[in-house]
A and B are shown apart, each in its own frame.
Chain A
Amino acid sequence: MNDSREEMGIDACLLAGRLMMEAGAETYRADDTMKRMAASLDMHGADSFTTSTGIIFSPGGQRRVKLTSIRRRATDLEKIARVNAISRLLSSGEISLEEAYRELKKTENGNFMFPFWLQVMAAAVASASFLVLFGGDWKNMIFAIIAGGAGFAVSEKFHERTRVKFFSEFTGSAMIGLISLAAVGSGGGSQLDIIIIASVMPLVPGLLITNAIRDLMSGHFMSGISKGMEAFLTAFAIGSGIAMVLSFQGVGM
């Protein structure tokens, strides 16, 4: 293997690992993907050290060790599936290294997210469904739709603008608290508790919770604990947003 091709191979492995971690894959999956790709590229003795904030990849032998940092993390299951498919095709020899690298680059730059309005709609419908699951009254459904959609939209927009972690969830859940209070206060709705619980569900850090457990169980303690902490702080932010609104309302809850 000549030098530039080797360089590309190392870059492809690192890129695949980084894309997976950024999209919210389990740490062992990112690790495994990189090792499989390296093995299919004849880099024997390749090893990697993956945490939720950075990856160190050693291709083995005399080759250079490289590292990459992971700055932003979002839940993007589509990206995980794509990178997984690319690495499968590369390992089975169905595509060449050049093609795989090009596909990975395309995946990195592409935007596969659902449009924002659709996500807000999804959050609204999900909130309404949870209202039913939690035993809410049908007539409160409309308030769950409004509060759930608005809370999700506010939280996402804040996250885009400020990039401050946890503050976006805090504002989102405060918004939900305000809308629910207004709904019940005006006499239109009842069951304040159930409306609030159903509406905050779209903000729940589901991926972090599952991943934290699976990372811990597979022995990746560093990323397991940091993801668990992130999940806990997110939950705490949601709780304090609601708590703030309710406390201003007085104790007559």
Chain B
Amino acid sequence: MTYVIHGVFSFLATAMFGIIFNSPRNRLLHCGFVGAVGWLVFFSSRDLLLEGDAVKASFIGAFAVAIVAHLFSKRYRTPMIIFSVAGIIPLVPGGTAYNTMRNVMEKSYDAANAHAMEVLMISGAIAMGLVFAEVIIQLVFNNRKTA
């Protein structure tokens, strides 16, 4: 049940981001789908596989977003960015960034440092996920072309 609720709301959130980023009208549902896949992969791998490790889960989530976005971009011959931009939004570590800022304000700098490092690690993991997916896609795609 939790997964159904999360699926529905991550779809909704990402599709709404499609509107804010002005995606092409007929691609909004695809944007939502990319976001829902990314979030569900992130959420399930964090809680089931990785015992709450958000860094690795973000990597896997971003990887999934990039793969699905790439498949859509090949299918509809539109730039990949249209699908991936909204899709990674749910993965952005907003909560941890907020905790960093709050701890700085409360002058508990040790806690702030820990949170800041986590924000850095998660952002890096998202970046690595996107890049890894792209590299793998390029390798697969080029191989197929030469074969």
- Interface set of A (CB-CB < 8 Å, partner B): 25-26, 29, 75-81, 84-85, 88, 112-114, 118-119, 122-123, 125-126, 129-130, 132-134, 152, 193-194, 196-197, 200-202, 204, 206-207, 209-211, 213-214, 217, 235, 239-240, 242-243, 246-247, 251, 253
Contacts and interface: CB of A to CB of B under 8 A. Distances in A.
A193 B100 CA distance: 12
Contact of B22 (A25, A113, A251): A113
Interface of B: 5-6, 9-10, 12-13, 16-25, 27, 39, 77-79, 81-82, 84-86, 88-90, 92, 94-95, 97-102, 104-106, 123, 126-127, 130-131, 134
Given A29-B81, A125-B13, A200-B98, 15 more contacts: A75-B22, A76-B21, A84-B79, A129-B10, A132-B5, A133-B9, A201-B92, A206-B17, A210-B81, A242-B98, A243-B104, A246-B105, A247-B105, A251-B105, A251-B106
A246 B106 CA distance: 10
Q: Is the interface of B mostly helix, strand, loop or mixed?
A: helix
B92 A239 contact: no
A202 B10 CA distance: 14
Nearest to A196: B98
Given A81-B82, A84-B79, A243-B105, A197 B12 contact: no
Return the 8 tightest CB-CB contacts between A and B, nearest first: A129-B13, A126-B16, A122-B19, A122-B16, A129-B9, A213-B127, A239-B101, A132-B9
